[in-house]
Amino acid sequence: MGDILAHESELLGLVKEYLDFAEFEDTLKTFSKECKIKGKPLCKTAGGSLRDSKSLIIQKDLVAAFDSGDQKMFFNLWEEHIPTSIRDGDSLAQKLEFYLHIHFAIYLLKHSVGRPDREELEERISYFKTYLETKGAALSQTMEFLPFYALPFVPNPMVHPSFKELFQDSWTPELKLKLEKFLALIFKASNTPKLLTMYKENGQSNKEMLQQLHQQLVEAERRSMTYLKRYNKIQADYHNLIGVTAELVDSLEATVSGKMITPEYLQSVCIRLFSNQMRQSLAHSVDFTRPGTASTMLRASLAPVRSKDVPLLPSLDYEKLKKDLIWGSDRLKAFLLQALRWRLTTSHPGEQRETVLQAYISNDLLDCHSHSQRSVLQLLHSKSEVVRQYTARLVNAFASLAEGRLYLAQNTTVLRMLEGRLKEEDKDVITRENVLGALQKFSLRRPLQTAMIQDGLIFWLIDILKEPDCLSDYTLEYSVALLMNLCLRSAGKNMCAKVAGLVLKVLSDLLGHENHEIQPYVNGALYSILSIPSIREEARAMGMEDILRCFIKEGNAEMIRQIEFIIKQLNSEELPDGVLESDDDEDEDDEEDHDTMEADLDKDELIQPQLGELSGEKLLTTEYLGIMTNTGKVRRKGLASVQWSVDEPLRRPVTPGGHRNGYPV
């Protein structure tokens, strides 16, 4: 009781603060009145209406200083009330601050009647210059801000084409709106009552812990099945070894008595020691009368025996599976899609994975050859966000394997569905990532490249790449790689020529992006489209060579050599030899023969099984066990690899996964 009384005042204060925050005005009055009647002390919390009013005053003062051009007051308030962690760590805050400095630097030029005061203007420009050399230097690598580093040195910025946007009537109101939204967000976050913060932190922590435990349980069950199989094999080997050892001891005792061991007997013992696959060949091809033969063969066989013998996964009833994928509940559909994907992503590369994929294809798991109104592929348009996402993940897993791409490519309906989902999906980032990943891998195949170019996918890619900082790393990397693959075709280059200025602007901005994984694809796209004379002319007019030379000073050796090739292409007058290596007069297919299964396919799972609920391999083998649905795999002959120097920009279609793994295409 004593402990409760000791903290009662603080607890009552937390309740009062929350009621005030949530605007329960009548409840708050009644609560305060009853506390007063009962003599309960109300602790003064570090929040409430006083803090709200103070926040509003600070916001008004900042906006007033912005409107009046009072640079000194604005940045004093900015540094005092905006937390350092946000100013230094949040990219949006840093960009906003950069534009605010520009606003105050050019304020007199925009608002003075007649000539601005020369001394005050020089002081503002000097202040902006100091900012650029100190805190603002961090953004000098970003193409968006690069032109503004020349602002302090331009005699009359109002007439300079690079700064035309700053002096438009709409620029200042738009910046003010961004400032007001930012301030509202920052001060609202800091006004969150302590009671709500405690609840969120505790609830989120418990939720995350529960999800983690569920995931660990699923993983543990998966591992236990693997370990059980290994244990059974080891136990069988152990019993075999005990039997052989006993026989060998008997044989040694016999030799002491003068009895000879025949080669036939030695051969029979060795055959029992070796794996099943070697027994027949040993029985007919090895001469055990030669000294040391048995021990040499035994040692040689040990290594493969340890890593070989990966068991094939059980066959499944695909008719029942597809029926439940179409007609089952959304939760069942999601678990089935997840389990089928895990079969592909977690299976051992080689015979085990090939058998899984071939079973999926031969049983037309995704209904690629079905003309029915309801098919598994149509789950891409499900009302359930989880089902849409897990369908996209499974399709992306198929597209990660060469045979899977061949299966999906046989029906252009698949491509059209993915393109539609890509343009419509605005709620779920991971769904869009997986659809984009599948399309990017499709772009290794020439017929699908042609279809994507005809469908105008290049314009969609250019549009989203205008704001690369709003994209996830995966979306950015695969968007640029897809754009490059499509730009390698004549039709793609001609499509880019229609919006040459925009394409060149987007690609030149991406050259300075902090995500260095995209650089090979940006370079490859630039090199390819600059083979078109009209695009070269546009690039020269916008000073592309100067932009490229900026990056030569700061790039690594490989990047520098690639940019030098691009500059050479920019200044050429004719098509250089070999630029059409991936053009329309080539063979029908650009497909590479490598499989790259990304870890991202299984990241951030949305669903976890509840207690007693089946998932993963356990769900498949318990409810959907089939008979002889696994079929042998017929390997396609891979295309001959075409290699090029790493010094040159990419000239043939690649996927980011394949490029990172160093696969030649």
Residue 511: exposed, middle, or buried by beta-carbon count in 10 A (0-12, 13-18, 19+)? buried
**77 has a pLDDT exceeding 50:** yes
What are the DSSP calls for 608-649, one per residue? -PPTT---HHHHHHHH-B-SS------PPPPPPP----TTSP
Confidence of residue 303 (pLDDT cuts 50, 70, 90): very low
**Pair 635, 351: CB distance under 8 Å:** no
Tokens of 660: 């990172």
- Is the confidence at residue 663, as pLDDT, over 60? no
Angle at which helix 544-554 crosses helix 500-511, to 10 degrees, equals 10
What confidence tens digit (pLDDT) does each residue in 144-184 have?
Answer: 888 888 888 888 888 888 888 888 889 999 999 999 988 88
Output b/e per residue, 568-594; b: 16+ Cβ within 10 A. Answer: ebbeeeeeeeebbebbeeeeeebbbeb
Closest CA to 363 of 411, 417, 321: 321
Percent of the chain predicted with pLDDT > 70:
80
CB atoms under 10 Å from CB of 85, counted, come to 9
**Local structure of residue 368 (DSSP, 8 states):** T
Give tens-digit pLDDT for 375-408.
898 999 999 999 999 999 999 999 999 999 999 9
Grouping H, G, I as helix, E, B as strand and the rest as coil, residue 495 is helix
Burial of 548: CB neighbours in 10 Å, binned 0-12, 13-18, 19+: buried
Q: Give the angle subtended at the CA of 636 by the CAs of 632 and 637, to the nearest 5°.
A: 140
Q: What was the pLDDT predicted at 286?
A: 52
For position 205, what pLDDT does the model report?
60
Q: What is the mean pLDDT of the chain?
A: 80
Averaged pLDDT, 62-70: 92
Nearest residue to 107 via CA among 41, 49, 175: 175
Residues 117 and 71: their CA atoms lie apart, in Å, by 15
How far is Cα 383 from Cα 329, in angstroms, rounded to an integer?
12
d(CA 363, CA 44): 69
Q: What is the mean pLDDT of residues 409-432?
A: 85
Distance CA 180, CA 176 (A): 6
pLDDT of residue 492: 92
Using 50, 70 and 90 to split pLDDT, how confident is the model at 664? Answer: very low
Other residues' Cβ atoms within 10 Å of the Cβ of residue 485: 30
Query: Do 20 and 48 meet the contact criterion of CB atoms below 8 Å apart?
Result: yes
223: which residues sit within 8 A by CB, 6+ positions away?
Answer: none
DSSP string, 369-395: T---SS-GGGGGG-S-HHHHHHHHHHH
* Region for 543 from its dihedrals, namely left if φ exceeds 0, alpha if ψ lies in -120 to 50, beta otherwise: left
Determine which of 286-295, 426-435, 453-462 has the lowest per-residue pLDDT on average: 286-295
Q: What is the mean pLDDT of residues 263-282?
A: 61
Give me the residues paired with residue 625 across strands: 316
5: tokens are: 């009384």
- Give the pTM: 0.54
Band of pLDDT at residue 452, cut at 50, 70 and 90: very high
Looking at the DSSP bridge assignments, the partners of residue 316 are: 625
Label each residue of 95-116 as H, E or C.
HHHHHHHHHHHCHHHHHCCCCC
pLDDT at 628: 63
Using CA atoms, how far residue 450 sits from 403, 444, 522, in Å, is 20, 11, 20
Give mean pLDDT, residues 572-592. Answer: 51
Q: How far apart are CA 587 and CA 172, in angstroms?
A: 55
| Tens-digit pLDDT profile for residues 458-482 | 999 999 999 888 888 889 999 999 9
Higher pLDDT, 584 or 13: 13
Structure tokens at 507: 């690609």
> What are 383-387's contacts with CB under 8 Å, separation 24+?
384/330, 384/333, 384/334, 385/427, 385/428, 385/431, 385/606, 386/330, 386/334, 386/606, 386/607, 387/330, 387/333, 387/334, 387/337
Whether 191 and 51 have beta carbons less than 8 Å apart is answered as yes
What tokens were used for 518? Answer: 């995209």
Three-state DSSP state, 316:
strand
DSSP string, 52-104: HHHHHHHHHHHHHHHHHT-HHHHHHHHHHHS-HHHHHH-HHHHHHHHHHHHHH
Q: Are 341 and 353 in contact (CB under 8 A)?
A: no
Q: What percent of the chain has pLDDT over 90?
A: 29
CA-based nearest residue to 566, from 551, 582, 585, 554? 551
Q: How far apart are CA 372 and CA 236, in angstroms?
A: 49
What is the C-alpha to C-alpha distance for residues 105 and 232, in angstroms, rounded to an integer?
Answer: 76
Per-residue pLDDT, 328: 92
- Residue 515 gets which letter from DSSP? -
Q: Which amino acid is at 335?
A: F
Task: Find the range with the poorest average confidence among 254-258, 349-353, 560-564.
Answer: 254-258
pLDDT of res. 651: 63
Q: Considering all CA atoms of the chain, what is the largest pairwise distance in Å, rounded to the nearest integer?
A: 123
Summarize pLDDT for 225-267 with one digit per residue, the tens: 777 777 777 877 777 788 778 777 877 877 887 777 777 777 7
Question: Tell me, what's the pLDDT at 263?
Answer: 73
Contact predicate 105/131, CB 8 Å: no
Neighbour-count burial of 71, counting CB atoms closer than 10 A to its CB (0-12 exposed, 13-18 middle, 19+ buried): buried
- State the DSSP H helix or E strand holding residue 199, giving kind and residue range, or none if neither: helix 194-256
**Strands (DSSP E) along 295-405, which ranges?**
none
Q: Say which residues have a Cβ less than 8 Å from residue 70's Cβ, sequence separation at least 6.
A: 64
Q: What is the per-residue pLDDT across 98-146, written as a single tens digit (0 to 9) for each?
A: 999 999 999 988 888 778 888 888 899 899 988 888 888 888 777 788 8
Averaged pLDDT for residues 494-516: 88
Angle (CA) 425 429 434, round 5°: 85
Running DSSP on this structure, what letter comes out for residue 593? -
Tokens of 172: 């200042």
Supply the Cα-derived Rg of the chain in whole angstroms.
Answer: 34
Helix (H) or strand (E) holding 406: helix 402-409
Taking residue 142's Cβ as centre, other Cβ atoms within 10 Å add up to 18
Cβ pair 649, 521 in contact under 8 A = no
Q: Are 651 and 579 in contact (CB under 8 A)?
A: yes
Mean local confidence (pLDDT), 436-451 = 90
CA–CA gap between residue 590 and residue 639 (Å, rounded): 8
Helices 557-570 and 544-554 sit at what angle, rounded to 10 degrees?
Answer: 160
